[in-house]
Chain A
């Protein structure tokens, strides 16, 4: 294996056998067998960029290889539509938003255009996220099963936006959420479907130790001393300043370094100001490495995660926290906040350690640095936890089970 980015190719199920064992892949094939030839339609609002498109890019070929007939359709719309849906997205996450009547009209007009443009004749139609939610209008009679997959945190939604969307959602046969906390009071069944990572992607595949070392060296990180890292966007909700404070507490006892690495600073005005705040707060400490990475840094992120002694994710709020999943997959000990989907991944004292404050985070880091055997064990168990629950193959299995359960 080399450190160079590989050209993306569709993975086959056999590619996963060395990681999961033949039994697990055999079971996937057995579960898919009764669904052979059944049609599945996935609809989202973007073909490239974003986590949903990334997952569908991997999911569709695997479902196809298992004998089902999947199709992926992308909703189209003008800038006005995507401005409205972006505002909806932020509002559903709990951000402030005062919708205008024409926003709802724009949303419905584009939904109607797409309803007329796309064919909806699959046995299982999975609509991803709020943008295409109103496509349920295309449902004819009781034919087929319609599922709404919500990838966002709906625990504190803007009331106006949610009240607008809710009647559409209620007409589906079921809704899928990434964490129990994200579910709403709805008259339809709600299911838990975790997001997932692909262990064969550049961000997660095995790297040669030389590659990891070369990348750490390139960023001026001393591999001989402990490295605590948070690899996450420069976003206040990820609390990089809190991580810095925790590091400063631990630094009183241990000679360690801190890596704060993430993207989003160049194209996100808030990201840039957060980055500036973090740099100010670090006060030129040479052991604090603040790295603003471009979007094509999958191998670098992979290497930095692998080079670290402990991975921290001290979020104040979190969707699911796939950066935690990535770290656990790499057998790294993790200290993370008990928010959003993190407690599903970090089972306290089994697959990592949870913290609720700066001081708690600092204490858990100190504890793990003084107990390397325990840190290794948490990392090993975290890896198994991800293998069992949070890989793309588990995602395929959940969809197949859902389809079987509905049919």
Chain B
């Protein structure tokens, strides 16, 4: 099966982002709530999916910008924990993620109304990611070719195919797993790849795990 040739090659792409500074800012939890309600989808993306990719080298305790601000800017560890508990891998849509972020912040405001108006050490500035994608001009037709090209895949490209793809595919999957199944018929490899925990791995670590899974598949 590992020697199968795809009908459609895997085309490696990289994504690059420029950060747009938005108008919303928050000095209190209440203002964070208002910002979460009114900010753009690109802003939700920036502070969650994109932030996780940008801080991939942190494997303990970093989940998203909102949680980090609740901890460092507001000194509210309880709220920070709950916001950090939202795993971006569980979301295929930014609107669903926004609903859950709002739910956590609303619950906090209801439970601790006094704390909702307390000012932070520093403001939270809403930003948004403007994405540009560029083909890398590399195509894999077989798993062997894919494995070789994976070595040359940088952080941004891996993050784009492995994590951001969920939003594009609207599936709890990723570009790699989809290709393994649809083009090579490698269901098991696809499942194992999709289970790699990007939150507790660095991007390099996740890539190395994927490479090991492929090596095992090729050796089988």
Contact = CB atoms under 8 A, between A and B. Distances in A.
Given A180-B21, A190-B21, A191-B20, A381 B121 contact: no
A95 interface: no
B18 A191 contact: yes
B132 A350 contact: no
Interface string B141-167: 000000000001111110000000000
Nearest to B16: A401
B71 interface: yes
8 contacts: A30-B14, A30-B137, A34-B134, A343-B73, A347-B62, A350-B58, A356-B121, A398-B18
A131 B17 CA distance: 29
B127 interface: yes
A349 interface: yes
A180 B127 contact: yes
B121 A27 contact: no
A237 B23 CA distance: 28
Nearest to B157: A27
A183 B153 CA distance: 35
A21 B14 contact: no
Contact of B18 (A26, A30, A356, A402): A402
Contact of B156 (A27, A356, A385, A398): A27
A30 B16 CA distance: 11
A25 B155 CA distance: 11
A192 B19 contact: yes
Given A31-B134, A347-B72, A401 B17 contact: yes
Contact of A30 (B20, B62, B122, B135): B135
Contacts of B18: 191-193, 398, 401-402, 405
Contacts, number: 101
A181 B137 contact: no
B20 A189 contact: yes
Interface residues of A, number: 41
Contacts of B90: none
Contacts of B192: none
Nearest to A21: B154
Interface in A30-47: 30-31, 33-34
B219 to A, nearest CB: 25
B132 A401 contact: yes
Contacts of A350: 55, 58, 61-62
A75 interface: no
A21 B57 CA distance: 15
Contacts of B76: none
Contact of B54 (A183, A388, A401): A388
Nearest to A342: B122
A33 B134 contact: yes
A71 to B, nearest CB: 22
A338 interface: yes
A354 interface: yes
Interface of A: 21-24, 26-27, 30-31, 33-34, 177, 180-181, 183, 185, 189-193, 338, 343, 347-351, 354, 356, 381, 384-385, 388-389, 397-398, 400-402, 404-405
Contacts of A348: 68, 71-72
Contacts of B157: 23, 27
Nearest to B60: A350
A31 to B, nearest CB: 5
**Chain B: number of interface residues, binned into ranges:** 35 or more
Contacts of B73: 343
Nearest to A407: B132
A106 B191 CA distance: 68
A328 B54 CA distance: 16
B208 to A, nearest CB: 13
Nearest to A402: B18
Contacts of A185: 23
Nearest to B126: A180
B189 interface: no
A183 B57 contact: no
Nearest to B62: A350
Interface in B64-99: 68, 71-73
A117 B187 CA distance: 66
A-B CB proximity, top 8 nearest: A180-B125, A23-B154, A348-B72, A384-B57, A192-B19, A401-B16, A190-B21, A183-B21
Contacts of A31: 14, 16, 132, 134
Nearest to A399: B18
A398 B132 CA distance: 11
A177 B16 contact: no
A381 B62 CA distance: 12
B136 interface: yes
B54 A192 contact: no
B20 A385 contact: no
Contacts of B135: 30
Which residue, B19, B25, B68, has most C-beta atoms of chain A within 10 A?
A: B19
Given A22-B152, A30-B134, A381-B57, 18 more contacts: A23-B152, A26-B154, A27-B14, A27-B156, A30-B14, A31-B132, A34-B134, A177-B21, A180-B125, A180-B127, A190-B20, A190-B21, A191-B20, A192-B18, A343-B73, A348-B68, A381-B58, A397-B16
Contacts of A33: 134
